[in-house]
Amino acid sequence: MAEIPGLDLTTLAHAVPALTMHLGTVLAEAAAVCLESNEHPQGVPLSVRGESSERFGLTWRPMTDTMRRAYNNEDGTEIGACGVAILLVREISGMAVIERSARGRVLTTGSVTRRRCRFSGKAGWRCRASCGG
């Protein structure tokens, strides 16, 4: 059986143009708390279905008691889910989040290519080409 590609949540702190190190860490920690609170092991497979079907093994920095107390509510789950979504957009589409929209929770993504982003208009995502990142 082929090994599935990894999706490391700690990369949110340094590999996303629109996120500061601190915001990326918040997203990663919130996701870690949600995953560990639901007893998911490191490398748990995440299946993505839609225009293509892909699987990723999620990894994260182990949860601490302080992290658990900080993100132990629905807001923490939502924050963590945003972090996972940001990494999935990058891995599946090859695009990167370059800024947060001024309205609501919509994120704008960008890429050096001009191809149409298949996430555009779906689940609040907009895509925009950019040379940054």
Q: Is the pLDDT of residue 127 over 60?
A: no
Domain-located, residue 19 = yes
Q: Quick check: 79 and 30 in contact, CB under 8 A? A: yes
Mean per-residue pLDDT of the chain: 77
Q: Quick check: 77 and 97 in contact, CB under 8 A? A: no
The pLDDT, as a whole number, for residue 65 is 94
Name which of 80, 90, 78 is nearest 16 in CA terms: 90
> Which regions of the chain does DSSP assign to beta strands (E)?
6-8, 44-48, 54-59, 96-100, 107-110, 125-127
The pLDDT, as a whole number, for residue 57 is 95
Query: How far, in Å, CA of 107 to CA of 23, rounded?
Result: 14
Instruction: Give the range among 18-22, 26-30, 90-94 with minimum mean pLDDT.
Output: 90-94
Domain count, the chain: 1
Domain-located, residue 106 = no
Q: How many CA atoms lie within 13 A of 69 on its CB side?
A: 3
- Burial call 78-102: b when 16+ CB within 10 Å, e when fewer: ebbebbbbbbbbbebbebbbbeeee
Domain-located, residue 1 = no
Domain-located, residue 75 = yes
Domain-located, residue 81 = yes
CA angle 7, 13, 18 (to 5 degrees): 100
pLDDT category, 117, cuts 50, 70, 90?
very low
The pLDDT, as a whole number, for residue 29 is 95
The pLDDT, as a whole number, for residue 30 is 94
Tens of pLDDT, residues 2-21:
688 999 999 999 988 888 99
Q: What is the mean pLDDT of residues 78-97?
A: 87
Q: What is the pTM of this model?
A: 0.75
Domain-located, residue 113 = no
- The parent domain of residue 75 ranges over 6-94
Q: Is the pLDDT of residue 58 over 90?
A: yes
Q: Is the pLDDT of residue 124 over 60?
A: no
